[in-house]
């Protein structure tokens, strides 16, 4: 699966890396029902792509990652009948979180509400220096969507997550880094170059080990420590028979770059 055509998102794949871009630059990529449905379809297809190693989530332009729902559309009641949603349509955070490939959010501007929920569902969050954040749900009289009360406490801790939800305020990328919401902040001028370098590093890892590591982290959320260790060992020991594992050890000893084949 390579590129897919949609209205409010773009999905492009180059080699083992796919980029899902929220694409409403004239509205800072504010979320619509159509965007939600299209992202769900794209991510469901991506989850079945065995060649995919890294999925990058970002927003079009430089001003917005995604500031949450398009308030103008919500207030005016815009949207076609085909855009009406059910609970099943709010699966994007689960698809991002449980994606077999590694997911990276490149936060290139305003990130709030539902947009923040999508970012929190990713494995990594990198921010541009000018990025701004806000949970913002109470500001518009709703309790929230996109899974934040599940993901955010796991990222920054329960007490701080509750404060961001119950007393929403804007904060900058430096504060996001300080509280652990993002793991890297890059200058605006070099943001995509730096993010692309991080993505490339992930994509160049041994593919079976990369997917297994992602699966291990997902399993660890659902079972106790002893059960996890048993699962981890059962997955770890057979890997020494893989071509890529032998190649990685040989490359380390020979001080050269490994050549992985996914076997």
Q: What is the pLDDT of residues 82-97, one digit of tens each?
A: 457 888 889 999 999 9
- What are the backbone dihedrals phi and psi of residue 132, each rounded to the nearest 5 degrees, phi first? -130, 145
Residue with tokens 């009948």: 81
pLDDT range class, residue 76, cuts 50, 70, 90: low
The 10s digit of each residue's pLDDT in 156-196 is: 999 999 999 999 999 999 999 999 999 999 999 999 999 99
Residue 170 covered by a domain = yes
* Whether residue 111 is found in the same domain as residue 32: yes
Domain encompassing residue 217: 207-254
* Whether residue 144 is found in the same domain as residue 81: yes
Provide the β-strand partners of residue 17. 14, 54
* Whether residue 212 is found in the same domain as residue 237: yes
Per-residue pLDDT at 214: 98
Q: Which residues contact 197 (CB under 8 A, 6 or more apart)?
A: none
As for how many domains the chain has, the answer is: 2
Q: From its phi and psi, is residue 61 left (phi > 0), alpha (psi between -120 and 50) or beta? A: left
* Whether residue 232 is found in the same domain as residue 174: no
* Whether residue 225 is found in the same domain as residue 182: no
Per-residue pLDDT at 79: 55
How many other CB atoms are there within 10 angstroms of residue 237's CB atom? Answer: 9
* Whether residue 107 is found in the same domain as residue 218: no
Q: Where are the alpha helices (DSSP H) in the chain?
A: 33-47, 71-76, 92-97, 113-120, 148-156, 158-166, 173-178, 191-203, 207-220, 225-236, 243-254
Query: H/E element holding 112?
Result: strand 110-112
pLDDT > 70? residue 77: no
Per-residue pLDDT at 89: 86
Three-state secondary structure string covering 121-181: CCCEEEEECCCEEECCCHHHCCCCCCCHHHHHHHHHCHHHHHHHHHCCCCEEHHHHHHCCC
pLDDT > 90? residue 80: no
How many other CB atoms are there within 10 angstroms of residue 146's CB atom? Answer: 25
Residue 181 covered by a domain = yes
* Whether residue 242 is found in the same domain as residue 180: no
Q: What is the CATH number of the domain that holds 196?
A: 3.90.226.10
Residue 154 covered by a domain = yes
The CA–CA distances, whole Å, from 233 to 191, 212, 219 equal 38, 12, 13
pTM: 0.93
* Whether residue 183 is found in the same domain as residue 54: yes
The 10s digit of each residue's pLDDT in 109-141 is: 999 999 999 999 999 999 999 999 999 999 999
pLDDT range class, residue 1, cuts 50, 70, 90: low
Cα torsion angle, 203, 207, 211, 216, sign: negative
Per-residue pLDDT at 4: 82
* Whether residue 115 is found in the same domain as residue 226: no
* Whether residue 126 is found in the same domain as residue 234: no
- The last residue of one of the domains, among 164, 181, 203, is 203
Per-residue pLDDT at 78: 62
* Whether residue 87 is found in the same domain as residue 8: yes
* Whether residue 194 is found in the same domain as residue 241: no
The 10s digit of each residue's pLDDT in 209-251 is: 999 999 999 999 999 999 999 999 999 999 999 999 999 999 9
Q: From its phi and psi, is residue 198 left (phi > 0), alpha (psi between -120 and 50) or beta? A: alpha
How many other CB atoms are there within 10 angstroms of residue 165's CB atom? Answer: 18
Please give the mean pLDDT across all residues of the chain: 94
């Amino acid at each position: 699966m390579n590129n897919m055509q949609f209205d409010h998102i773009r999905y492009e794949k180059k080699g083992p890396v796919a980029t899902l871009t929220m694409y409403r630059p004239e509205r800072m990529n504010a979320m619509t029902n159509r965007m939600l449905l299209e992202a769900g379809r794209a991510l469901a297809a991506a989850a079945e792509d065995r060649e995919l190693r890294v999925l990058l989530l970002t927003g079009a332009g430089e001003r917005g990652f995604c500031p949450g729902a398009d308030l103008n559309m919500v207030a005016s009641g815009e949207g076609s009948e085909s855009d009406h949603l059910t609970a099943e349509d709010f699966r994007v955070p689960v698809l991002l979180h449980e994606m077999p490939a590694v997911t990276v959010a490149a936060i290139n501007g305003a990130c709030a509400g539902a947009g923040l929920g999508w970012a929190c569902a990713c494995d990594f969050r990198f921010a541009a220096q000018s990025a701004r954040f806000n949970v913002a749900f109470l500001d518009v009289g709703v309790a929230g969507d996109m899974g934040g009360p599940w993901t955010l406490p796991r990222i920054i801790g329960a007490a701080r997550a509750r404060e961001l939800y119950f007393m929403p305020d804007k904060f900058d990328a430096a504060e996001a880094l300080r509280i652990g919401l993002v793991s890297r902040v890059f200058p605006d001028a070099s943001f995509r170059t730096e993010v692309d370098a991080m993505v490339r590093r992930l994509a160049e890892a041994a593919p079976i080990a990369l997917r297994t590591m992602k699966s291990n982290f997902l399993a660890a959320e659902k079972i106790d420590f002893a059960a996890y260790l048993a699962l981890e060992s059962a997955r770890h020991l057979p890997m020494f028979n893989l071509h890529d594992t032998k190649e990685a050890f040989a490359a380390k000893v020979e001080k050269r770059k490994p050549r992985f084949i996914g076997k």
